[in-house]
């Protein structure tokens, strides 16, 4: 199942970002530290190709710390790019962000030449909460549903540091299937675009293979039997342990799936990162090959119609 979500307000966000890019010196992209590649917007990368970039791996307190370090090294090895990990409660977030931006654009400083920075991120990545923490007040709208920030705002972090906040934006087509599931699991995709049970099963499949101990501890699973369970068996177990049952003791898979996703989003299962650079490279190659095959099919059909 391919998950896609690109409502009309995101098209407007794209236009706003294109306009703002003409007048900023660099771009901050807020990523979800639990999905550092899936939450990277390929459309933004294309639009801001010539701008220095700071990647913020946000919600790092919910992510696997070892994998976070691997991702930071990966991003910091890229040209004109710096990367740091942050969490909303970090009292030094503003100074860290300003320092990294000035390292990327050292020639913009002073009131006469303020550093103009655009900050972007996918929906529900915690960008507004992070900004509010840096400002020490409610400067940006926050919420736990995707698409809260709808209009651009200019925020002043220092006299010569202007931060332009933009609405959360996804991209028109997600070609990496795993990315769609990860975005859905994190809450970045509107509920009307996904089936919670399918997403929860995909999440459980990854967790049982890579974070089995965390699953066992969270849901008090049998240590001898659970290593052999598949995703649907885990969902059945969780439903019974959490009382997600219908009349007659039947499993309420929808309710169980919602509880799994909520537990993941709130960090109750543990510190988890759903991808590594090596895994992402494999998934991306597969997605690109599938996209090329679809394009070739469309070209053949187009040629056949003309013939």
H or E element at residue 18: helix 8-21
DSSP state at residue 245: B
Task: In whole angstroms, give the CA distance from residue 179 to residue 86.
Answer: 22
The H or E element spanning position 271 is none
**pLDDT confidence of residue 232:** 97
More confident residue, 31 or 294: 31
Calculate what percentage of the chain has a pLDDT beyond 70: 94
CA–CA dist 223, 176 (Å, integer): 34
pLDDT at 152: 55
Percentage of the chain lying above the pLDDT 90 cut: 65
Q: Which two tokens stand for residue 138?
A: 């409610």
Summarised one tens digit per residue, pLDDT across range 126-137 is 898 888 888 775
- Strands of the chain (E only): list them: 26-32, 53-58, 81-85, 115-121, 153-158, 161-165
Going by DSSP bridges, is the β-strand pair 81-85/153-158 parallel, antiparallel, or unpaired?
unpaired
Query: Which strands, in side-by-side order, build the sheet including 26-32?
Result: 81-85, 53-58, 26-32, 115-121, 161-165, 153-158
Element (H, E) at 166: none
Q: What does the pLDDT look like over 196-228, one tens digit per residue? A: 999 999 999 999 999 999 999 999 999 999 999
Residue 143: which pLDDT band, with cuts at 50, 70 and 90?
very low
Q: Output the pLDDT for position 147.
A: 44
pLDDT digits (tens, 9 = 90+) for 27-74: 999 999 999 999 999 999 888 988 999 999 999 999 999 999 999 999
Contact 136, 94 (CB under 8 A): no
Q: Report the chain's mean pLDDT, rounded to a whole number.
A: 90
Model pTM score: 0.89
For residue 150, pLDDT over 80 is answered with: no
Mean pLDDT over residues 240-258, rounded?
92
The rounded radius of gyration (Å) of the Cα atoms in the chain is: 21
Please tell me the distance from the alpha carbon of residue 234 to that of residue 253, in angstroms, as a whole number.
11
What confidence tier does 282 reach under pLDDT thresholds 50, 70, 90?
very high
Is the per-residue pLDDT at 142 higher than 70? no
CA dist., res. 119 & res. 168, Å (int) = 10
How does pLDDT run across 160-172, given as a tens digit for each residue?
999 999 888 888 8
Residue of higher predicted confidence among 245 and 230: 230
CA angle centred on 68, ends 59 and 266, rounded to 5°: 30
User: 262 or 87: which carries more pLDDT confidence?
Assistant: 262
The span from the CA of 64 to the CA of 70, in Å, is: 10
CA geometry: angle 275, 125, 79, nearest 5 deg: 60
Structure tokens at 297: 């099919």
CA–CA distance, 35 with 37 (Å, rounded to integer): 6
Amino acid 149: pLDDT: 44
pLDDT score at 137: 59
Interval 69-83 mean pLDDT = 97
Model confidence at 96: pLDDT above 70: yes
Give the pLDDT confidence score for residue 140 in this predicted structure: 45
Cβ-proximal residues to 271 (8 Å cutoff; 6+ apart), any chain: 61, 62, 63, 64, 65
> pLDDT band at 5, cuts 50/70/90?
confident
């Amino acid at each position: 199942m391919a998950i896609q979500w690109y409502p009309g307000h995101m098209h407007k966000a794209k236009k706003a970002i294109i306009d703002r890019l003409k007048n900023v010196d660099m771009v901050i992209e807020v990523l979800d530290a639990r999905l550092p590649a899936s939450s990277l917007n390929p459309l933004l990368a294309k639009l801001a190709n010539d701008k220095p970039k700071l990647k913020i791996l946000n919600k790092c307190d919910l992510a696997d710390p070892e994998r976070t370090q691997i991702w930071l090294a990966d991003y910091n090895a890229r040209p004109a790019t710096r990367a740091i990990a942050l969490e909303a409660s970090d009292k030094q977030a503003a100074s860290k962000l300003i320092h990294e931006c000035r390292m990327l654009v050292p020639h913009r400083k002073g009131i006469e030449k303020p550093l103009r920075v655009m900050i972007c991120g996918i929906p529900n990545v915690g960008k507004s909460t992070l900004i509010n923490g840096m400002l020490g007040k409610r400067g940006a709208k926050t919420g736990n549903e995707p698409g809260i920030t709808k209009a651009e705002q200019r925020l002043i972090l220092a006299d010569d540091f202007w931060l332009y906040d933009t609405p959360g934006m996804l991209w028109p087509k997600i070609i990496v299937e795993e990315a769609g599931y990860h975005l859905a699991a994190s809450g970045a995709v509107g509920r009307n675009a996904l089936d919670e049970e399918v997403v929860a099963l995909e999440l459980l499949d990854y967790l049982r293979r890579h974070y089995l101990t965390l699953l066992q501890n969270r849901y008090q699973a049998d240590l001898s039997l659970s290593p052999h369970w598949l995703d649907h068996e885990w969902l059945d177990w969780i439903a019974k342990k959490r009382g997600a049952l219908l009349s007659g003791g039947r499993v309420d898979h929808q309710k169980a799936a919602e509880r799994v996703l909520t537990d993941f989003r709130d960090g109750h299962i543990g510190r988890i990162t759903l991808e590594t650079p090596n895994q992402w490279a494999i998934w991306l190659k597969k997605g690109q090959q599938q996209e090329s095959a679809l394009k070739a099919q469309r070209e053949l059909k187009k040629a056949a119609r003309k013939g």
